[in-house]
Structure 1
Amino acid sequence: MMRAGLVLLFAMVLMFSVGCAAPQYIEFVTWYPPKLKFPKGTSLAIIPKGGDPVGTDLVVRKLEKYLSLEDPDKRFKIIEREMLKDIMDERMLAETGMLDKDAEALAKMKMKGVEALLFVTVTRYKSETIQTPRKEKVTEHTSGGGAAFTRRGVTPVAGTVTQERYVDVMWYTARADVEVAFKMVNVGTAEVLVPEAASACVMEELRERVPDESAVREKAVNNCIAQFMKWVGWVGKRERFELAEPSSAEAKAANNLASQGLFPQAEQQYNIALNLAQDARARAAILYNLGLIMEAQGKFAEAKSCYEQSVTLTGGSIRAYGMGIKRVEEKILAKAQPTAGEDSGRIEDAQSQGQ
């Protein structure tokens, strides 16, 4: 009787462990090309144009330093503004900012070796520090005598006395709000390229200490510059998806390969599992996972086909399958790819997506 009970218990534990297997995930990076395309090493002049003079000068100096010294991809060769003084009419720039429409000025720029112009205008450059008094609970422990109330009255006791009280504490919050407008001009074609304005709001809060307001402003400026760099450099989006649960040993082996990043081997194993699968939902799960493998390798058309078959087999009842179709259509439209081309680019993390 006891042996039969142990066997039943073991079977139940085994069934529970199989049914509650930990989910497996696939991770990969999809790279999106620059929205403003210039050949690598393009000669660029960065020109301040109105706005807040202090903020604009700071953004221009930081951009010049980053693009000339720190950018690992060397996208631009910075032309010093001193070299352009003989052809830059400051009055014209201040009044119109439309060098792109002045054929003579553009021709002179081209003769100087300038291939692109970047106009920078800081339209908002504010910061403030706010003081906020707050009540905070303080617990104090003091050693020495105390008293205890008993039926016989107050009895002195020895030991530690604990007291709680509220004290006034001053908190300081520094807040910076910066917005930068950019305009690029292709000197060769006179084409005007206007990326979205970059904006950032940064806050820093300290207890009983005043934050460095200028440092907070600088963080906001750096944030705006990072937003601009997305327009001229490759941006990688790190993605993580939950694999559909396997229904066979072959599908399980493919999931193991996919979760380790062995995409070509996983693709072969999924095709084996697909040829053996008979059940519609099992085939749909394998096709979905195969679509993720194709997507990870930049084979977006093949991935879309896999997702579409998964949706057909399940009647659209599983949301992740339909989302896969939409996602790869957007990647095809954006001309995304699994590598960053000739640039190293910057990677942004995306949230995990489950079934």
Structure 2
Amino acid sequence: MAGRKYGLDLGTNYVKIYDNIRKNILVEKNMIAVRKKKEIVAAGDAAYEIYEKVSDNIVIKHPVRDGVIADVDPMGKLFDYLLKKLNCSNSMMRHNEFYLAVPSSITEVEKRAFFSLVNYSTYKTHNASIVEKPVAAALGEGLDVKRAGGIMVVDMGADTTEISIIALGGIVLSRLIKTGGNTINEAICNEVKLAHNMIIGYKTAEYLKLTLGSAVPTMAEPVTVYGRDLITGLPVHVPIPASLVFQCILTVLDPVLGAMRSLLERTPPELNNDIFDHGIYVTGGTSQIPNLERLIASRTRMKVNMSSHPQESVVKGLDVIMNSYELSDLAFSVRESAFY
């Protein structure tokens, strides 16, 4: 009996699961609320709704940090919860296959955790394979990763940014930088605290980033937000200018731009020619910052191709691999993996 194939992109902020039978993508917040260490109060988007609003006896956990599974047990519970939403049954699990996207620049132990998530969950199966995330992202953008020419992909996530040079189906050079959208939120929180003596929450910082965020200076009107006065402890509201958010974004993105230039300097000349001709491909949730392509182009002096579906590039690439015999060698099973 044939089972389903699932493509999993376990991001820091979101879990994306592609079901190749229904041809749909389930997207939920990568968050779980737990009471007394084991009782699940809420998971996914429901957990995000109560984030920063719960009492001390409920703990909000983020199972993925810096692109890897940091807390296996909560991730397993969230994984089971999401598969139930997809109507995945225990009786069919031995026939199902899972393709998991993982960063290329992580350790063998960190890669093993992705296999363990599937093998030891409620839905036990050993039909699990991993795919390097930059390769999946490139395929999701419709690129031919098996050609001899070089492809530069920048995947900008919540906690990490992975910059990769791809040729002949493999990673030639790669750099994983621990900075992303969440780093920008933290920078906004800190800057508001320093500039206005006001403490704001993560959701408020996210709102400021989405409302005023830009990779180049803008003349947007200030946005008033509420927080807690650092001195009196009382609720206050303060107008936040766009310039504050811009400076936070620029400060966080500077190391990313420097790493892109550094990687290009180390790239073999023949591959550099191809990258120069076709440009840099940018994807990932953080790449949705307005005017980001202008900032990257000004620093690298190269053409920049922004994804039209940045949060779905990886799972769309997994779908391409799942349905192509010619690309099946881009996925590695437990037996084929050198780190097992």
Q: Same fold (TM over 0.5)?
A: no
Task: Using structure 1 for the length normalisation, give the TM-score.
Answer: 0.20
Task: Using structure 2 for the length normalisation, give the TM-score.
Answer: 0.20
Max Rg structure: 1
Name the structure with the higher strand share.
1
